[in-house]
Structure formats: structure tokens, C-alpha cells
Amino acid sequence: MRNVLILALGLSGCSFYAPTIADCTLACGEGGCPGGFTCRGNFCRPTSGPEVDCACRAGSSEACGTDVGECAFGQRTCSASGEWADCAGGTGPTEELCDGKDNDCDGLTDLGPVTEVLQDTAPYEGHWRLHADDAGFTLVTPRALPDAGADFKAMYFDPLLAPRGESPVFTSGFKRIASASEGSTIYVGYSNGTDVELTRLGARGQIQQVWHLPDAGYSTRIQTCLGPRGLLNMWVSQDETVRIAKWPDDGGAANVYDLAKIPGGSIYWVDSSTDGQFAVIEANLDDGGTLDAVQDIDEPAPRTLAAPYWVTERFRMRDSKLVHLDILDFTGKKVIFWLDFATQANTDYFVVEQVGRWHDSDFIFDDNQDVIAAYGDEATQRIVLARIEGRTDTDLQVTRIIPADVVVPSGAFSGNIKLEHVPGDPMYAVFWATRTRIYARRFCAP
């Protein structure tokens, strides 16, 4: 009956437009269109009507949305003018939670999407730092300049990795840089020729104070520490000593003193526990990989540890003990973890997992002071997440492999995996860098 009416309207030459009767209901494949009608978008439309396609058959309905994860299909109905109405009655994606469910309906459980947080051509290598506070994350990173130099800024992101501003440039030119944080305040130490400078950044990226130490004798490396010993910078000087600057809060002159430097070695890490121990880590690469000194500021005599290692910056303090995540050797490429690096023998460590790519790793502690570790496997282009529980070598490990979802070319990882955690957020964040970009992803601890 409907087709008869359409045909009658077309033959009678009626020019009125009646979408409820004739529009978007007759498919062109059902015998063609009658006179006065034109096939557009697979449906017959009055030639005198609007020159747009029908998206659907008027009055029809279909499922919409997705049923992946916690989502459920809804229903949408085609209007008289051939347009789909909004999806109704379904369950859409929500923010990912640490509940063992796929809340954002992307097929991955307890894992957020990959977010590109920085795209540039700066020489990232290992020269960027990551911090977290209640407001989110901060990258202290170089930004490229046309002359192949770099401006250094701090870039701020909320807990969901959305941008929330950046600081002014606080130093220009490619420099060694290190930073430490206390809440939302970040202290950035860097070289400026042979001078050493320190910049304090506030919560909104404002430059609050700049300390300058002229003629510091800077040669290589620099580390920054904020702890019971105060605010410290350490670097290797031109006369082969480890030079230490303790900066006063009031902006006055730094107290500078030297430690003996081990032959052929360099400083790689600085921190201090509540009892003030293990302030300086020196390492010697000449023999292919041994850590030669664990040195306390107040005890200049080095404590030598002949321990196989490669990545010398992956140290943390836990319960006044020095813990360490590292690569066992050049050939085995085993990711290992020392519970108390300062006292354990060379065999007293966890072998976390055998991987195909060494060098890229980081770890932090959860609220129970268990270890959450991340390391890169270039062979499979994956970031591996591992939990190391407890305090003894008989404790269980839980390992989870997640895809980076970004093609990582050969050599793109260069010690550029970093972990952080926003207080109160059930999810952690792993950041990683290629030669030209920095990516991040939120995840629930394994």
C-alpha cells in the first residue's frame, strides 16, 4: 500500500514534501524509485526535497554502543527524516578503576589508554624527570630549539594525564639536569658552563627562586637530593672530586665541600634515608660493570661492593635500607632486584624476569612499601610491570605484561621509563620516551 501511495504521488505531479509518507522508507534496491523521486544514500527521496542522503530507514531501529567490558548495547531509532536518534538505554564507558573490570570498554582490564603527553624533537635521552603530587604529574624536560639546543621547562598534567600548564623557561641550552620534589615544589639542579644553578618551581610552575654558584668547577654528572640532609646538589668537578653544595632555604650562599672520587668512577645517584645514610652512589664502568662505592657524606671512606650492575640510577630508600633495580649483566639480561643492596651478597637478589632488552627500568613503592617495577622489552615492544612483595627472598612476585601500544623502533628506549603515583589515586602511571615523544599510561598495580 505504501509503494502504491508513493507511486501515485509521483505520477500526480504533487510537489509537496511529505517525509512521513514517502521519505527514507523505500530502498532503491527494491525496484528502483518512482517518478519524482531520486535515489540518494540508498533510499528514494523526493526530487524536490532536500539534497541530503538518508542515513537509515524511517522507523527502523538497531543496537548501538558496545558490549565490550562493562559496557552494554543500547538502542537507536531512525527518525521520519532518516536520521539516527541518540543511543538510548545502553551502558557507556567510564573511567578505568582498579576493580578487575574493563570499565572504559577498550578490551583491557585495569589499564588506561596510551596518552601522548609531549611531542617535540628535543634530545630526551635520559634528560627528563618525572614527579607527582596531589594535583597530578610534572615533567621536567627539554623542549627543542631550532639551533638544536634545548629550553628546559616543567610541564604539568592532571591525574588523568590532561595538560594543566607549564612553567617559564628556567634554563636554555643542552645541559645535565636533575630534580627533586617536596609536595608540589620542585627543585631543579643543572649545569651552566662550569657554574651550577638551582631553580625552585612552585605548584603552578612559577619560578620562585634561583640559586647560582659561580665557578663551581662542574665537569660531568649532576644529582639533586632533598631529604634529612637538606637540599643537596652533587657533581663531578674538574679536579676529579665529588663536589657537594648544600643550599639554604633563605637563598643564601651554598655550603660547598668535596669528597674523594674513586678512580675512573662517577656519581650516579644521591639520596638519604631518615638516618642520613647512603647519600652518594659512585660507580666505575671501566671493568664492565661493578658498583665500586657506597659512600656516606659524613664517612668519606667508600664502602666497596663488587656487585654486577648496569643501570646505576635505579636506587630507592626503604626502611632505611638501600634497594635497587638493575640488570644483572650484559649477556644474561636479567632484570634483578636487591632488597638491601648495601649488605646483601652478590647472589641475594630477585631475578624478576628474563627479557630481551636491558637498560630501561624504574620502580616505586606502593602504600605497603611493596615494589612496583617497570622495564622495557624492546624485542616484543612491551613494557613489563612487576610487583615484588615483602622483604625476604622467599616472597612471591607477580608479573604482568602490558602492551605499550606504540611502535618502539630499535634503540628508542634509552633509560627512559619512569614510574610515579598521585597520592590517593588507585592507579599508577608509567611514562616512556622515544627519540621525539613522551607517552604515558595509567595502570593498576599487578
Q: Over its length of 446 residues, how does the chain's per-residue pLDDT go in tens digits? A: 344 334 433 343 433 444 434 577 888 866 678 888 888 778 887 887 767 778 888 889 999 999 999 999 999 999 887 889 999 999 999 988 899 999 999 888 898 888 988 887 665 556 789 999 999 999 998 877 666 667 889 999 999 999 999 999 998 887 788 899 999 999 999 988 889 999 999 998 999 999 999 999 998 888 898 877 788 888 888 887 888 888 887 778 888 888 766 666 667 677 765 555 556 666 665 554 455 555 665 555 555 555 555 555 677 777 767 777 766 554 556 667 777 766 666 666 667 665 555 457 788 888 888 888 887 776 666 788 888 776 665 666 677 777 766 555 555 555 578 999 999 998 999 998 877 788 899 999 88
The answer to whether residues 255 and 403 belong to one domain is no
Q: How far apart are CA 93 and CA 97, in angstroms?
A: 11
Residue 365 placed within a domain: yes
CA distances from 90 to 60, 63, 64, 82, 86 (A): 18, 9, 8, 22, 11
Regarding whether 100 and 215 lie in a shared domain, the answer is no
Sequence-ordered list of residues with C-beta below 8 angstroms from that of 252, at least 6 positions apart, any chain = none
Boundary of a domain, candidates 275, 306, 337: 306
- On whether both 333 and 212 belong to a single domain, the answer is no
Same domain, 59 and 31: no
Both 233 and 113 in one domain: the answer is no
Say whether both 273 and 137 belong to one domain.
Answer: yes
Domain count, the chain: 4
| CA distance to 139, 195, 396, per residue, from 133 (Å) | 12, 30, 30
Could you tell me if 435 and 412 are in contact, meaning their C-beta atoms sit under 8 angstroms apart? yes
- Write down the pTM of the prediction: 0.79
Name the grid cell of 201: 618551581
Could you tell me if 290 and 343 lie in one domain? no
Q: Has residue 311 been placed in a domain?
A: no
Is 117 part of a structural domain of the chain? yes
Q: Are residues 156 and 283 in the same domain?
A: yes
Of 306, 340, 373, the residue that ends a domain is 306
Domain hosting 230: range is 129-306
CA distances from 20 to 26, 53, 398 (A): 12, 16, 62
In a domain, 109, yes or no: yes
Same domain, 270 and 165: yes
Q: Are residues 21 and 82 in the same domain?
A: no
**Do residue 258 and residue 402 come from a single domain?**
no
Asked if residue 182 belongs to a domain, the reply is yes
Q: State which of 245, 273, 306 marks the end of a domain.
A: 306
* C-alpha of 125 from chain center: 15
Residues 138 and 187 in one domain: yes
Kindly give, in sequence order, each residue whose CB lies less than 8 Å from that of residue 14, ignoring residues fewer than 6 positions away.
none
